[in-house]
Structure 1
């Protein structure tokens, strides 16, 4: 399978999870109104999805290492489809939160297995290039999903969005069955048992490089999730944007991330992946802290916020694919477990930061920007410590 074809297939599969997030963002104010819920309760639908999405990865990774990559995909996507139908029929915000959690439990497979497939096929800069190509396909989500959600709201209501996602899940099953080959040879499969899980988990938790790289990307990912959870209320409430206007503003911020991610492979090949992570983390922190300072001074207008987040997210686009690849590279024999553990830690970090933001969120941009800046500072601090540890080990 060529790299382009692999990127297209894995990207389309991986995009279903982000679509489940981005497509209903313009509808969050409408959901609050229709179900009689406050902002915090609606944000909980995202937190429930992220936490369940993260925890479930601990299950799919070892399963994929034992049975191969395709069987877990079939199971997870079926769970996702059924939960999505439940979301479409949810009568209260409580039921919507519950079905969103179940949706996350199923959708997690679409994060774990594609990353493990990439590790099956490539390592090093080649894996970074494939990861970046996959992220390019995924990039259609933050650019088109909110617009699609806005369009569906116009012709129906927010429930129609979840019916569309259920259809996407069915198409994912067809794609898995017809276009995705099995990439894990039977001779390389690892049986699921407590001894193997304990041994693999202990290896990963005791690896400071793996943990450091995971949380560098984790806090970077968390900053984007904070933006996702808050932006609809900030852009529509504070700045008065329509659902379509919000979708366009959201797309501009996301373009910075995914455009920069395409440079990760070439830059890693030319300068070395550690150097790319180092300078990207500095840029991410500088732009995020600078935007927060501007906000404290009262100059955080809509164009300033969009421009500042565009620059910060561009740096983030260099951090996430490179840290994913570097974290998995030394652990090819347990790539599924490593992918699932890394994804779990990152998703739970994102869910926790969304919950913390909700405590201080007042419908304005400043709490959102403050939490993004905090995530950037944590990511930079971990970058400095992790790269220093890598230098010691190599020396």
Structure 2
């Protein structure tokens, strides 16, 4: 890998040259839809089958913890896959790794239909996560190939609107599929969506990384680039903030299906509706963030989102301790939390990706995604460290508050250090 110097100042990061095909307003809108579909594949794969957790556990003769492990396995796969696919895309271009990843994801989606046990399903989900990483990591790299600064922030906010439809519609569709047939229908839907995304990418999305801007991948060069990235406070600060905030959100995602249905008595369809409403909060946050681009600086928007999200989960903990929690009150509080996260995700991503030169965008995106999903899958599991081994409202809220506090502290400490280097 060539020794391309990683910029430590925003001013030395060059503006990418916009290709002719992207100069039309309609093309930008369609690019949002295409990249949104690719990036949404991962969230859809995690959220679509959440309402079916109790049914899957019963059908496969597994415990709650074993079924939650299928979700964690996919998150770990997403993390490892990004570490592989991101640097690879810096060397061979974006299109080929993306298409191969989509094919593997589609095949494993249909193989999940045949899983005879929770163990086999966990392995398949791990492979599916590795393949699904292609959409997430390469989509971010494509944005860095084409945009920078406020343009990137606006694009990520538009992208978040499309991506947000996946976690909003996923549980609703999953709940309705359970009315039509067994839990396996969720994976049929995943396979169909993945197959459609392959056709869209193959026939429409061109290569965005020209040959002259590629870097050949080798282990020594890759490790050197990663080492420089983790020492770059302008990159590390927002990445850790993003990872901790995502872990806070993922604690809710992984535990709330059991908490709402088994502790609070919600049906699968009620849980799906609550999840969808809360996801609207995420969409509202990302869109208000997009409106504020150019009016409020990125770091201030990020700080505001962290404060809002932390305030909401602190109220959640109070409700859990007091025993006053209800389906309605939890929906309101979690809506506000997701609204705050809607500010955190696009702004943290923009700060991290825009701090690096385009030649290492794939590697930077991979490292960011790997930390995000590994922290999300790993730290969220602490909610299950109860005497029964099952997550409760109290354990879920406690972990979320802890992660929210650490995320805010990390941003304040590393953000100030980054300002001194900026």
Per the normalisation by structure 2, the TM-score is: 0.91
Structure 1 position 354 matched with structure 2 position 414:
no
CA distance in 1, matches of 2:400, 2:142: 31
Deviations 1:263-296 (A, max 9, x none): 2233231111011112221222122112212321
**Does the Cα contact within 8 Å between 1:139 and 1:258 map onto a contact in 2?**
yes
2:262 to 234, 237, 243: 237
**Does the Cα contact within 8 Å between 2:304 and 2:343 map onto a contact in 1?**
no
2:233 to 179, 203, 208: 208
Cα drift, residue 209 of structure 1: 2.4
Corresponding position of 1:223: 248
1:194 to 212, 219, 231: 219
CA distance in 2, matches of 1:52, 1:13: 16
Corresponding position of 2:149: 124
Corresponding position of 2:369: 343
Corresponding position of 2:19: none
1:326 to 347, 351, 355: 351
Deviations 1:328-348 (A, max 9, x none): 112122000000001001110
* Greater fraction helix: 1
**Does the Cα contact within 8 Å between 2:65 and 2:390 map onto a contact in 1?**
no
Matched residue pairs, number? 394
Deviations 1:42-62 (A, max 9, x none): 100011000111011011111
CA distance in 2, matches of 1:362, 1:257: 27
- Paired residue secondary structure (1:240): coil
Alignment of 1:23-102 (within 5 A): 23-102=48-127
**Is 182-191 or 363-372 further displaced after alignment?**
363-372
How big is the alpha-carbon RMSD for the aligned residues of Structure 1 and Structure 2? 1.3
Cα drift, residue 363 of structure 1: 4.9
1:257 to 245, 264, 282: 282
**Does the Cα contact within 8 Å between 1:79 and 1:105 map onto a contact in 2?**
no
Corresponding position of 1:384: 412
Structure 1 position 115 matched with structure 2 position 143:
no
Unaligned runs of 5+ in 1: none
Per the normalisation by structure 1, the TM-score is: 0.97
Cα drift, residue 297 of structure 1: 1.9
Deviations 1:20-47 (A, max 9, x none): 1111011111000101111111100011
- Paired residue secondary structure (1:271): coil
**Does the Cα contact within 8 Å between 1:126 and 1:265 map onto a contact in 2?**
no
**Does the Cα contact within 8 Å between 2:281 and 2:335 map onto a contact in 1?**
yes
- Paired residue secondary structure (1:309): helix
CA distance in 2, matches of 1:155, 1:331: 48
CA distance in 2, matches of 1:74, 1:6: 16
Distance 1:363 1:351, change over 3 A: closer
CA distance in 2, matches of 1:142, 1:195: 38
Cα drift, residue 376 of structure 1: 0.6
